[in-house]
Structure 1
Amino acid sequence: MSQLFERIDTVFLQVKTLDEAIPWYQENLGFELRWRQGGHACMNVAETPLTLWETPSGEAHTPHPYLAFNFYIKDLEACERHLQERGVQTEPILDHGVVKTLDFFDNSGNRLSVCSW
């Protein structure tokens, strides 16, 4: 454990608009809005919140080009069913041996991932 830092405080993810992203994360992933100020909105996930950052006005949104983090869940198949029932675009579950992953996309086109082991 680092003697300097206690934890990762938040993870940032750029989205097209907060007005569209906040309800998407609430309705599809069950995240609660902690706060919203200016072009940022903090969503409660678990111990590390997700802070959505709105693409500045006049700029084109480019979906996140790589996976910078993933979520964890015990039942990956149930998560897949949950997302698919809500019309969320998913990719097939991948078995990496010790860990399985499921990639999916938010309404801004960002690739997100959830893992299980």
Structure 2
Amino acid sequence: MKPILRIDTIFVPAIDTAAAAAWYARVFDMVEVFRSGRHIGLRVAGAPRNSTALTLNPVERIEPLPHAAFNFYTQDPEALRDRLLAESAEVTPITDEEGMRWFDFVDFSGNRVNICHFAGGE
């Protein structure tokens, strides 16, 4: 037996979990998969039930990290960057290096997140 089967959820701090959930749903086409008190779980729409989820974890204050805590894979980093800019998100330029393209953004709650694309990632 394997000691673990998957990464089940990523905990993302949020002061207002309901507003952060609405933002992630709108920007990334995510759907709510559970709610427990102020904790809200989201998953990419159409993803299998056992795919990794985000759990918005209620906190009083966000402690900014100097790096991205996690990343999302996309097929079209330019379009997603444009979408984030339309949401007034803080985004970095796209970096293209050795077959990988990526950028960082700051989410609704102030967390730094990364977006990446590479051939064969689908």
TM-score, normalisation: structure 1: 0.85
Partner of 1:106: 107
Aligned-residue offset at 1:65: 4.5
Instruction: Please list the CA deviations of residues 19-77 of structure 1 after superposition, one character each: whole Å capped at 9, or x if unmatched.
Output: 3211111122221111111231100124211111010xxx4332345323211011111
Higher normalized strand content (fraction of residues): 2
Partner of 2:37: 38
Segments of structure 1 that go 5 or more residues without pairing to the other structure are none
Counterparts of 1:69-80 in structure 2 under 5 Å? 69-80=70-81
C-alpha separation between the residues in 2 aligned to 1:63 and 1:41?
Answer: 21
Q: Which amino acid aligns with 1:63?
A: P
Counterparts of 1:14-29 in structure 2 under 5 Å? 14-29=13-28
Q: Which amino acid aligns with 1:91?
A: T
Aligned-residue offset at 1:88: 2.1
Q: Is contact 1:9-1:48 (8 Å) kept?
A: yes
Question: Secondary structure of the residue that 1:89 maps to in structure 2?
Answer: coil
The change in CA–CA distance for 1:60 and 1:83 in structure 2 (over 3 A counts) is: closer
Comparing 99-108 with 65-74, which one deviates more in the overlay? Answer: 65-74
Asked if 1:49 corresponds to 2:53, the answer is yes
Q: Which amino acid aligns with 2:56?
A: L
Partner of 2:94: 93
Q: Which amino acid aligns with 2:43?
A: N
Question: Secondary structure of the residue that 1:80 maps to in structure 2?
Answer: helix
Q: Identity over the aligned pairs, expressed in percent?
A: 35
TM-score, normalisation: structure 2: 0.82
State the superposition RMSD in angstroms: 1.8
Segments of structure 2 that go 5 or more residues without pairing to the other structure are none
C-alpha separation between the residues in 2 aligned to 1:50 and 1:87?
Answer: 22
C-alpha separation between the residues in 1 aligned to 2:105 and 2:78?
Answer: 13
Q: Is contact 1:63-1:108 (8 Å) kept?
A: no
C-alpha separation between the residues in 2 aligned to 1:85 and 1:61?
Answer: 23
